[in-house]
Structure 1
């Protein structure tokens, strides 16, 4: 017989974690005997207990090949380069008209006229090239705008399972899981570690405060957690065991910067 690493009860049939090598009975492993057998030999050999799954580093979603800042920077740079393009095109057209008038007014020698004709043709060609460049730039601006929208959409989709908690003071050697559990007790919503993908602190722009980001494994669990927190109007720091004057704590969806601006 083996001893369960979670409840210390002895058992005959159970599971073994591939990471810490500890044994757990089916109840503590949150799994039935039938479900364990259905996993197959390969998946059973790779199975991890809830504690090891929480401590394992989370693979982040692949980031887009280009960031929003890069796209916006490229758009601003191209716009800056094109500020003088309309004036330059008009100047070239004006030169073209002046040369055309000079050609009519003066009776130059054939060689001189040929020279002016050549210059005029060259200028006309340059004007045509600039007009084509302008059309190309407009097309590129449209493509960049579409790419920006796609990146914004991808960024927001990657946050669908995330919750943003604002107002939790920073504390040395803090346990973010304990903080989330304390919030769960206050809002009357049980949130076991097995439902959490990861928890981390992220900085706020132009502020010393850091948000707590909780990524759930299930979108519906995340939505129920947010709904329960919003229903609790007086959630404050005192509910989490912090001393001093209580401050309001806010629980919301983890939106991208662009979505917040909307």
Structure 2
């Protein structure tokens, strides 16, 4: 269709309810959105700008407005006094507003300062968190290394103890100059009724101990079973002393046991203390292992580590 105002063809527009002419939105002085919002009734009554100018305006008949009487001087002065009273607090209000502005300014400055401090604190916190993460990683590595070290120590101690399985430790034998350890061992064998031949022995020697006057004698047998039988025979003879072996005047007891390493000896001492506390009657070493039993009819427990001590109830 063609616009009656600009004679340009268009596809969508408006229609005047008075002249029936079609106009595009630009010539009709209305937007497409505005036209859609008019609704059906208002679009049906819509007039183009030309028809609106041609239509006489309806002037409403107004009733006469009563002329106000002029205010008296007294009335005016009264109103002025009232206004002065209302304005009396204006300086105070202005001062309050000024103070509020200063407080707002200070608050803004404080907020900006706090913001800077917060940023600084956040940066420090991030640095601390990073260090904490590194420390946690180091702690995990340290725990892992400690576990490895403990494992190596445990394996080393077990290997050391296995190397002593054929050994016997004899304590309580007085140490003499130019002594013959084979002779002493032969006397012990005769006394416990278990003769020991030299060809059954790997080596025999004394080893130093901390704070000890007489060094203990270590006998290493070539055969583990001979060693176990020798210890069993020695334990059958209760109260073996130095005088029983030809040492005149030496009444101290002679002890014949498995050759334990330092870790096993410390564990044995802790086991004895715990057994006494828990009222266990028997603590002994057999095959280089620590055994405990509460009474004659109870089960035998083997103590291989400090953790096993928790089993003593």
* TM-score, length of structure 1 as denominator length: 0.54
3-state SS of 1:135 partner: helix
Change (3 A) 1:245 1:119: closer
- 1:204 is aligned to 209
- 1:141 is aligned to 146
Q: Does 1:255 align with 2:260?
A: yes
3-state SS of 1:214 partner: strand
Shift of 1:120: 4.3
| Separation in structure 1 between the aligned mates of residue 255 and residue 129 of structure 2, nearest angstrom | 64
- 1:150 is aligned to 155
Residue number among 210, 226, 232 corresponding to 1:227 in the alignment:
232
| Separation in structure 1 between the aligned mates of residue 165 and residue 128 of structure 2, nearest angstrom | 56
Residue number among 240, 248, 261 corresponding to 2:245 in the alignment:
240
Change (3 A) 1:154 1:106: farther
Change (3 A) 1:244 1:111: closer
Aligned 1:1-262 pairs, distance under 5 A: 106-107=111-112, 118-260=123-265, 261-262=267-268
Aligned length: 158
| Separation in structure 2 between the aligned mates of residue 109 and residue 235 of structure 1, nearest angstrom | 86
Shift of 1:203: 2.2
Q: Which structure is larger by alpha-carbon Rg, 1 or 2? A: 2
Shift of 1:245: 4.2
Unaligned runs of 5+ in 1: 1-104
Larger RCO (alpha carbons 8 Å, 6+ apart): 1
Shift of 1:230: 0.9
| Separation in structure 2 between the aligned mates of residue 158 and residue 217 of structure 1, nearest angstrom | 12
Change (3 A) 1:248 1:119: closer
3-state SS of 2:263 partner: helix
| Separation in structure 2 between the aligned mates of residue 162 and residue 217 of structure 1, nearest angstrom | 9
3-state SS of 1:206 partner: coil
3-state SS of 1:210 partner: coil
| Separation in structure 2 between the aligned mates of residue 160 and residue 236 of structure 1, nearest angstrom | 25
| Separation in structure 1 between the aligned mates of residue 114 and residue 170 of structure 2, nearest angstrom | 83
Shift of 1:240: 2.2
Change (3 A) 1:188 1:138: same
Unaligned runs of 5+ in 2: 1-109, 269-313
| Separation in structure 2 between the aligned mates of residue 110 and residue 182 of structure 1, nearest angstrom | 92
